Amino acid sequence: MVTYPLVVDLVFRALADPTRRALLDALFARDGQSVQALCALVPEMTRFGVMKHLEILEGANLVTTRREGRTKLHFLNPVPIQQVADRWIGKYAQPFTRALVDLQTDLEHRTA
Amino acid sequence: MVTYPLVVDLVFRALADPTRRALLDALFARDGQSVQALCALVPEMTRFGVMKHLEILEGANLVTTRREGRTKLHFLNPVPIQQVADRWIGKYAQPFTRALVDLQTDLEHRTA
DNA sequence: AGGATAAGTGACCATTTGGTCACATGTCAA
DNA sequence: TTGACATGTGACCAAATGGTCACTTATCCT
Is B23 among the domain residues?
yes
Instruction: Flag residues of chain A having pLDDT under 50.
Output: 112
Quick: pLDDT tens for A69-100.
999 999 999 999 999 999 999 999 877 777 77
Considering only residues A24 and B110, tell me which one the structure prediction assigns the higher pLDDT.
A24
Specify if B1 maps to a domain. Answer: no
Q: Does A79 touch chain B (CB under 8 A)?
A: yes
Q: What pLDDT score does A93 carry? A: 84
The average confidence (pLDDT) of chain A is: 90
Instruction: Determine the pLDDT at residue B5.
Output: 79
Query: Is A42 among the domain residues?
Result: yes
B7-66 pLDDT, tens digit per residue, is: 999 999 999 999 999 999 999 999 999 999 999 999 999 999 999 999 999 999 999 999
Q: Could you tell me if B60 and B14 are in contact, meaning their C-beta atoms sit under 8 angstroms apart?
A: yes
CB B111 within 8 A of CB B29: no
Query: For residue B100, what pLDDT is reported?
Result: 65
User: Does residue A1 lie within any of the structural domains?
Assistant: no
Residue nearest C21, CA–C1′ metric: A48
| A68 neighbors A35 (Cβ within 8 angstroms) | no
Residue of A nearest to B7 (CA): A18
Note the pLDDT of residue B3. 52
- The pLDDT of B61-89, averaged and rounded, is 96
CA distance A112 to A80: 43
Q: With respect to residue B13, please indicate whether it lies within any of the assigned structural domains.
A: yes
Q: Where are the beta strands (DSSP E) in A1-112?
A: 33-34, 63-68, 71-76
- φ/ψ of residue B42, rounded to 5: -130, 65
Residue B42 lies in a domain: yes
Residue span of the structural domain in which B53 resides: 6-109
Q: Looking at residue A106, what is its pLDDT?
A: 65
User: Domain tally for chain A?
Assistant: 1
- Amino acid letter, A70: R
Q: Are A75 and A32 in contact (CB under 8 A)?
A: yes
A31 is a domain residue: yes
In chain A, % helix, strand, coil (3-state, to 5) comes to 60, 10, 25
Least CB–CB distance from A92: residue in B82, B91, B92:
B82
In this complex, the answer to whether residue B51 has its CB under 7 A from any atom of chain C, a nucleic strand, is yes
pLDDT band at residue B99 using 50, 70 and 90 as cut-offs: low
Can you give the CATH number for the domain in which A68 is found? 1.10.10.10
B109 pLDDT above the threshold of 90: no
CB-based contact A22 B42, cutoff 8 Å:
no
